[in-house]
Amino acid sequence: MERVDFITAFGRLLRDGDLRDRLAADPRSAAEQAGLHPDDWPAWRQLEPADVEFQAEVLLRKRLDEVRRMLPETCRALGETLWPRFHAYARKHWPAEPEAKIRDAAQFCRQLAAQATGLVCAAERNRLDFAVSGRRFAVRRVRLKNAGEADRVGLQFFRRRRDGRPMEIFIGLGW
């Protein structure tokens, strides 16, 4: 395996929950898995797994802040279960560039939908799916839930601008 500098290996540790579990169980094996250069072993050996986990959680909370901006209704609906659900997802998944923030929100949304929580806002999910799809145009029928009111049905029209940014129009189809 290619050997990497301490910062790269430490970055891998902060991004990968399974690797952190391994650090707690067997630091040398975790160093091997991270590809740490042997010269950096003395610094790695000093890492306290609980401290590394807390530092990693700081990064997860920053990610959640971004996800919350893109999934406000879904996150609101999840209430107190938001953090444990996001933590369970994010500890094992690190979004790839480019558009890592959008991919993160889209992947979390898909995972929630797969868990059949019934709490995913369909309009938000459609918006993110379109953003990561690369398609130029899409139409989705959507039923919006309004607390205390009747559901609202409509169509979401998505189009990608020349600069790549998506735009959206919603047309209601009645109540």
Partner 1 sequence: MIGLGYRRELAAWLETKPAGIDFLEITAEHFFQGGEKQLARLAGQYRLLVHGLGLSLGTPGDLDPARLEQFARVVGWAKPEWISDHIAFTRTAEADLGHLNPVPPTRQMLQIIAGHVREVSQRCGKPMLLENITSHVRLTGDLAETDFINRLCERAECGLLLDVTNLFINSRNHGYDPLAWLREIEPRHIRQLHLVGYAREGGRHIDSHDAPVQEELIELAGAVVAYAPVQAIILERDDESPPIPELQQELAKLRRIRGTG
Residues that bind partner 1 (CB under 8 A): 4-8, 10-12, 14-15, 42-43, 46-48, 51-52, 54-55, 58-59, 62-63, 66, 94, 97, 100
Q: Least CB distance from residue 173 to partner 1, whole Å? A: 36
Q: Least CB distance from residue 129 to partner 1, whole Å? A: 23
At 38, which amino acid appears? P
Cβ nearer to partner 1, comparing 43 with 139: 43
Cβ nearer to partner 1, comparing 52 with 142: 52
Q: Least CB distance from residue 56 to partner 1, whole Å? A: 9
- By three-state DSSP, how is residue 138 classified? strand
* Spatial separation of the C-alpha atoms in residues 19 and 120, rounded to whole Å: 30
Cβ nearer to partner 1, comparing 83 with 157: 83
Please report the beta strands in the chain, taking only residues with DSSP state E, as ranges in sequence order. Answer: 137-144, 152-160, 166-172
Q: Least CB distance from residue 71 to partner 1, whole Å? A: 17
Q: Least CB distance from residue 127 to partner 1, whole Å? A: 21
Cβ nearer to partner 1, comparing 64 with 128: 64
Tokens of 90: 């994010």
Query: What angle is formed at CA 78 by the lines to CA 151 and CA 119, rounded to 5 degrees?
Result: 40
* Spatial separation of the C-alpha atoms in residues 113 and 121, rounded to whole Å: 10
Cβ nearer to partner 1, comparing 15 with 160: 15
* Spatial separation of the C-alpha atoms in residues 95 and 66, rounded to whole Å: 12
Contacts of 79 (CB under 8 A, 6+ apart): none
